[in-house]
Structure 1
Amino acid sequence: MSQPEKKVDRRVIRSKEALKQALLKLMADKDFDAITITEIVELSNYNRGTFYTHYVNKEALLDDIIDELIRELLKSYRSPYENQDIFRINELTANSVRIFEHVLHYSSVYAILLRSNVISNLREKMFRALKDVSMNELVYSDNGINPELLANYAIHGLLGLIFYWIESGFAYSSSYMQEQLILMIQWRPTEAKTNVVPER
C-alpha cells in the first residue's frame, strides 16, 4: 500500500519565502557577513522562533536560496535532452536552450548574489552541479578526450558566458545569448589571422 503524500503546509512555505526575500533584500545593501538574524526576522515580520524552526543559522538560509536556484538551473540545463534517448548536439537549436531564460527569470537574485561576498560559493555550487549532471547523464562516444577534462572545459565556458552576461547587466537578450551559444558550440575554426607584428 502506497504512503499518502505529505501535505505541504502553506504557512511553512510563506514563512520560509519571507525569510529568503528578507535576506536577499538585506544582501542588496550590505555584505552577508554583516547581516544579523535579528535584521532578517524584523524585515520578514516573523520572529526568531520561526527562523530557528526552519534554519539553524543564516548560512542555512542562504544555502536554501542557492540550492533552490541550482535546482531550477539544472532543470533548464536538462531541457534540450530530457526526453531523448540520443541527444544530437549538432541538431541543437537556440529555441531548445533554456538556461539563459532561467538566469533572466531569476536575474534579481543572481545580480544580488553576484555583488555579494558569497559569489565564490555560488559559482562553486553551480559548477559542481552542472559538472555532475554533464558527466552522469551525457555519455559521449570514445574520441580519446578525457571526459572529466571535457566537462571542466565545457562547464567553465558556459558559466563564463552566464556570469559575463549577468555582470554586463543583461546587455543582450536571452534569445541572443542562446543563438550565440549554439554558434559557439557548432563553430569549428581551422585557422585565425594574427595581428602580431613580426619582429625584424
Structure 2
Amino acid sequence: MSEQEKKKDRRIARSTQALKKALLDLMAKKSFKTISITEIVELADYNRGTFYTHYESKEALLDDIISELIQDLLRSFRAPYEKIDVFRVHELPANSVMIFDHVYQHALVYKIILKSDVLSNVREKMFIALKDISMHDLEYPDHDINQELLATYSIHALLGLVFYWIESDFHHSPLYMQEQLMKIVKWRPTTATTVKK
C-alpha cells in the first residue's frame, strides 16, 4: 500500500469514527428516530458530503456501529474454544469467558443502546448472531435435545444475564459475572424447596 493510500485510509477512519461518536453522543440525549443527519455532521464537524461518501442514511451509520460491536462480541464468545477441538464446558475456567470483558470495554455504547429506541432491534441482532455461531461452531453429541432449542435457550439466558448486568450499571465486576455464569452453567439442581408464605 502506498503512502497516499495509507493517508486516505486514515482519513476515512477518522471521519467514520467521528460520525459514529457523534451519533452515539446524540443517542445518549435523544431518541434515534428524532436525530437528523445535519445534527450528526455538525457535531462531528464534517459536512453532509462526507457523510454521504460513507453512508447512505443514519440507519446505515448505526448498522456500522452495531456490526462492529457484534463482531467483537462474537470474538469474545468464541475465545474459550477457538483454539481447541473438544470444548469441555464443565472444565472451563471462569477467566476464559470473555463476553463480560467485551461488554465492560464497550460499557458506554451498551448503556446508550439500553436506553435507546433501537434496543429491541440491537438485541435481536445480537441474539441471531450468537445463536448462529453457537449452532455452527458447537456440537453436543449423544443426547436427544433439539440443537436449535438448546441454542435458543442458552443464548436468551446469556443475553438476559448480560443486559441485567448493564441495567444494574455494572454493579458486579466482569470477573464476578464470569464466575457466576460458570457456577450457573455447572449447577444441576434435582430438587427445590417450596417457600411457604
Q: Corresponding residue for 1:177?
A: 177
Q: Corresponding residue for 1:42?
A: 42
**Amino acid of the residue matched to residue 51 of structure 1?**
F
Map 1:29-178; keep pairs closer than 5 Å.
29-178=29-178
Q: Corresponding residue for 2:22?
A: 22
- Give the TM-score normalised by structure 1: 0.94
Equivalent-residue separation in structure 2 for 1:16 and 1:196 (angstroms): 58
Q: Offset of 1:196 from its aligned partner?
A: 3.8
Equivalent-residue separation in structure 2 for 1:158 and 1:195 (angstroms): 27
Q: SS in structure 1 opposite 2:153?
A: helix
How far does the alpha carbon of each residue in 1:125-178 deviate from its partner, in whole angstroms, 9 at most, with x for none? 000000000000001103000000000000000000000000010010000000
Q: SS in structure 2 opposite 1:141?
A: coil
Q: Corresponding residue for 1:187?
A: 187
Task: Give the paired residue count.
Answer: 194
Equivalent-residue separation in structure 2 for 1:58 and 1:51 (angstroms): 9
How far does the alpha carbon of each residue in 1:95-148 deviate from its partner, in whole angstroms, 9 at most, with x for none? 100000000000000000110000001100000000000000001103000000
**Amino acid of the residue matched to residue 79 of structure 1?**
A
Q: SS in structure 1 opposite 2:159?
A: helix
Q: SS in structure 2 opposite 1:9?
A: helix
Equivalent-residue separation in structure 2 for 1:188 and 1:150 (angstroms): 16
- Give the TM-score normalised by structure 2: 0.96
4+ residue stretches of structure 1 with deviation over 4 A?
4-8
User: Identity across aligned pairs (percent)?
Assistant: 63
Equivalent-residue separation in structure 2 for 1:152 and 1:130 (angstroms): 9
Q: Offset of 1:90 from its aligned partner?
A: 1.2
Equivalent-residue separation in structure 2 for 1:130 and 1:171 (angstroms): 24
Give the RMSD, CA atoms, in angstroms. 1.4
